[in-house]
Amino acid sequence: MAPPRTCALCQTARPIVRRPKTGQQVCKECFFHVFETEVHNTIMSAKLFKPGDRVAIGASGGKDSTVLAHVMKVLNDRYDYGLEMYLLSIDEGITGYRDDSLESVKRNQQEYGLPLKILSYDELYGWTMDAIVEQIGRKNNCTFCGVFRRQALDRGAAALNVDHIVTGHNADDIAETVLMNIMRGDIARLGRCTLICTQGEDSIKRSKPFKYAYEKEIVMYAYFKKLDYFSTECIYSPDAYRGHARVFLKDLEAARPSAIIDIIHSGEAFQIGEAVELKAQQTCKRCGYMSSNDLCKACTLLESLEKGMAKLATGDRNRRRLDEEPAPENMRTIPMFHRATPAEPAAAP
Amino acid sequence: MSCDAPPSTEDLMPRRSRYDRGQTCIKCKSQRGNLVIKHTVYCSSCLPAMLVRKFRRALSTSLDPAAPSRGTPSRTPPPDVILGLSGGPSSVVLLDLVWKCFSAQGSGRKDERRQVGKVRAVHIDWSCLGRASLVESLKENCDHYGIDFTVVRGEEAFEPAWRNAVGLDGSAADAHIDLSSARLPFVPSLAGPSDPVATLRAHLRSLPTPTSVPATLHTLTRLLLLHTASSSDCSVLMLGTSLPRLSIDLLETVAYGGGFALGAEREEIVRTSRGDVKIVRPLRDWSLKELGWWLYSRQLSVPRGVNGKPTQALAPTGGKTIGKLTEDFVIGLERDYPSTVSTISKTAAKVVPAEEAAYTCAYCLRPAQKDATRWKAGTAIMSLPFLITNAATDPLTPPKTPPLPAEKGLADSLCYSCYTHLTARGGTGAGKIPALASNGGLVTLGEAGMPMPVWVQQKLTEEEMRESIGGFLLEDE
């Protein structure tokens, strides 16, 4: 009879999982340890934080952000990072999806004792995703949601006066983004999508501590730790272009699991050639947010919604037609972006 | 992220309508169009001239970006060119176009014919792995065009005599490596000289994933072509890589972690023992439809068959390789969204390596980054220096990526993607390659590690070199 298998790491306990990332069969305790330590190593090698940093954890209530909040709390206590952490949630206004997932965020807030701020699209833009989808249909609605969420996160973070936002983007997300940006020729994004930390001129730092964590391992961690997360997918259609890259990536991962980390390595190994001209960053003339045009993408999209021409807003070619259309009376605009200086007191979450 | 649901078939990109620019030829604006290429309509009179221009433009850009304008005599002697022929549709088109543009019989203009010197063709024959031999039909084709034709057998990559014939350093013994260690240390060969076909099969059989097999054959083919070009004193190796094939190669390179040398997939200069060889791909902007139209209009036959795939004989059962998955993906894009396929190629042209190359990979001869093979070790913990008792409560020692074994090996001379091919394990969908499971009735090699191609040699360290010449060194004053 063959001897019972033992964990590839501690060599004593019975293995219960095969790590998708390495193929090793490991026990539960070793899995928790290496998962957390790898995230810690990622944080330390990129020098993401310094003691006293105020950090907002982007919390959607899904698996990635729930595990991120848990791991950040564990690592902050274990290694004494000295971080002041907050949960920051964006309420896109999707009935039957975000309202339920926010309940999960609220339960996590109770468990971890972290302050929570919720900022809604309705509050910031005067539109909910339900209303947006009502006007434009399901096609391209992810464009609105993605652009609005990015700015909402920055504005929520500014309101909390934090230095840093951490998000639950994992290795699969980053590999997918590399493929997607190659496929659509988005050179500007291709150049920065593998960076672990990005910072706009006027904006708050954004980091991805799960940059090298496989999605499957995040799910395993949540499952074995019995974390409370909301697993239902968005009720509106997913980003079709990303979906194309995702199907392909999942196939590649099945053929060779290291493909995910290999794609990230590829993305890190090249950079944009000097001959390629990228648009200079400026600030939006209407809301003060960082932008590569006179108006930021969020202001353009909001204007198109207000004019009832949202279907034209997702392509640059239609910008002139949008400009020619007179603005309605009392057109809603995004409030001017204002980053609190360190001397100013933080807003109450 | 949680809001990105796994897509279903109907969630994928919507299909674009075709014929979106009318039905009149966009060039002459008078004839009714016969073919739609990337949503643009051409008539059968304008299309050949457009395709020849496209071929010439790509070739000129690759051979000499600062070349004098058309009609001006070139000041430098034109390079001798070797054509790498696979027997597929694009290599047949390449052969035909080269003849048409650069021979007096093919009606190439005199000044334009000066762009290239002597032209010869070479084919790498992998019939030893069970593929149908295309040698006879390719020879017939080349004879028809009056182009010299050479065949190199795939197993020559493991033939010491071939190494000497192409002028590679023959002083070192054949290299074998131990795949069980992450540093891939060299091990002594227990067996004596062996049959190169058996060595080739042993090399392929040792690869840890089916995905590595076609990728390795691709690299071996490229290196055999390069060394043949170099030994023939040809400074240009011309390949018939079409746009979809280039996009497949680019995405595959990214998926193997070879982003550092991404630009090399489009165009590269490789330093060999006898000089530099430039690899050019003048059909890199040709779609499958354009290739098909050229074959049809010129009544050309394809030795391999239009649908014949070189890797079919080595296809795994129960799964697909990354190469095959990428091919299916890109061919699907080419059919439905041709602009996306072109975008992949254009994107690759805009990126450059993020740092200076530290060395040249011993296997593929492409530039490699410093510590390329140690990067992955920093992303995953593979061993623990202590036992875990209760990670949640017990104090932990400061974590570090476990140090890698100090032993020297081939890993330190490889690029990231070659290292990955030799070390990455397969997943649930990896499948098995039946053609390699058995050794084809050939003598099994001794357990002497994985045999390497003849150009991969163990480099001596400075101490080892000093030791070998120690008897001749004079003591310092």
Between B290 and B477, name the one with better pLDDT. B290
**What tokens were used for B403?**
């140090």
Given the candidates 3.40.1360.10, 3.30.750.24, 3.40.50.150, 3.40.50.620, the CATH classification of the domain at A28-277 is: 3.40.50.620
Whole-angstrom distance, CA of residue A68 vs CA of residue A78: 15
Report pLDDT for A68.
Answer: 97
Q: How far is B430 from chain A (nearest CA, A)?
A: 4
Whole-angstrom distance, CA of residue A251 vs CA of residue A241: 16
Element (H, E) at B59: helix B46-63
Report pLDDT for B261.
Answer: 92
Query: How far is CA B361 from each of CA B278, B357, B410, B417, rounded to the nearest angstrom?
Result: 17, 10, 10, 10
Find out whether B179 and B450 touch, Cβ atoms under 8 Å: yes
Report pLDDT for B124.
Answer: 95
Strand partners, B275: B272
Average pLDDT, chain B: 82
Query: How far is CA A152 from each of CA A88, A123, A206, A290, B20, rounded to the nearest angstrom?
Result: 10, 10, 13, 13, 39
Query: How far is CA A242 from each of CA A183, A267, B323, rounded to the nearest angstrom?
Result: 10, 17, 21
DSSP string, B387-439: --S-TTTS--PPP-PPPPP----GGGGS-HHHHHHHHPPP-TT--B-HHHHS-
Find out whether B87 and B139 touch, Cβ atoms under 8 Å: no
- Per-domain boundaries in chain A: 28-277, 279-337
- Best of B351, B397, B400, B420 to disrupt the A interface (most A CBs within 10 Å) is B351
Show pLDDT as tens, one digit a residue, over chain A (349 residues): 566 789 999 999 999 999 999 889 999 999 999 999 999 999 999 999 999 999 999 999 999 999 999 999 999 999 999 999 999 999 999 988 888 889 999 999 999 999 999 999 999 999 999 999 988 888 778 888 989 998 899 889 989 999 899 999 999 999 999 999 999 898 888 988 999 998 854 568 999 999 999 999 999 999 999 999 888 778 886 666 677 788 899 999 999 999 999 999 999 998 888 777 777 778 888 888 888 888 888 888 888 888 887 766 666 566 667 777 777 777 778 887 766 554 454 444 4
Between A87 and B339, name the one with better pLDDT. A87
Please list every residue in chain A whose beta carbon sits closer than 8 Å to the beta carbon of residue B255.
Answer: 252, 259, 262-263, 266
Top CATH class of B77-387+406-459 equals alpha beta
- Per-domain boundaries in chain B: 77-387+406-459
Record: contact A262-B255, CB cut-off 8 A? yes
Find out whether B215 and B323 touch, Cβ atoms under 8 Å: yes
Report pLDDT for B263.
Answer: 87
Work out the average pLDDT over B177-194.
82
Between B440 and A290, name the one with better pLDDT. A290
Query: How far is CA A102 from each of CA A58, A118, B277, rounded to the nearest angstrom?
Result: 12, 9, 61
Contacts of B53 (CB under 8 A, 6+ apart): none
pLDDT classification of B267: cutoffs 50, 70, 90? confident
Question: How many CB pairs (< 8 A) connect A and B?
Answer: 240
**A90 known member of a binding site:** yes
Nearest to B257 among A34, A182, A262 (CB): A262
Report pLDDT for B457.
Answer: 81
Calculated CA dihedral for residues A250, A252, A256, A260, nearest 10 degrees: -70
Q: What percent of chain B has pLDDT over 90?
A: 44
Degrees, nearest 5: CA angle A252-A258-A263: 70
Report pLDDT for B71.
Answer: 53
Report pLDDT for B73.
Answer: 53
How many CB atoms are closer than 10 A to CB B330? 25
Find out whether A210 and A64 touch, Cβ atoms under 8 Å: yes
Report pLDDT for B344.
Answer: 94
Record: contact B343-A185, CB cut-off 8 A? yes
Report pLDDT for B429.
Answer: 64
Whole-angstrom distance, CA of residue A156 vs CA of residue A242: 26
Return the residue matching tokens 């339920």.
Answer: A100
Whole-angstrom distance, CA of residue B42 vs CA of residue A342: 64
Summarize pLDDT for B148-179 with one digit per residue, the tens.
999 999 999 999 899 888 888 777 777 899 99
Q: How far is A342 from chain B (nearest CA, A)?
A: 31
Summarize pLDDT for B358-393 with one digit per residue, the tens.
999 999 999 999 887 788 888 899 888 754 444 444
A202 sits in the region (left: phi over 0; alpha: psi -120 to 50; else beta) called: alpha
Between B440 and A53, name the one with better pLDDT. A53
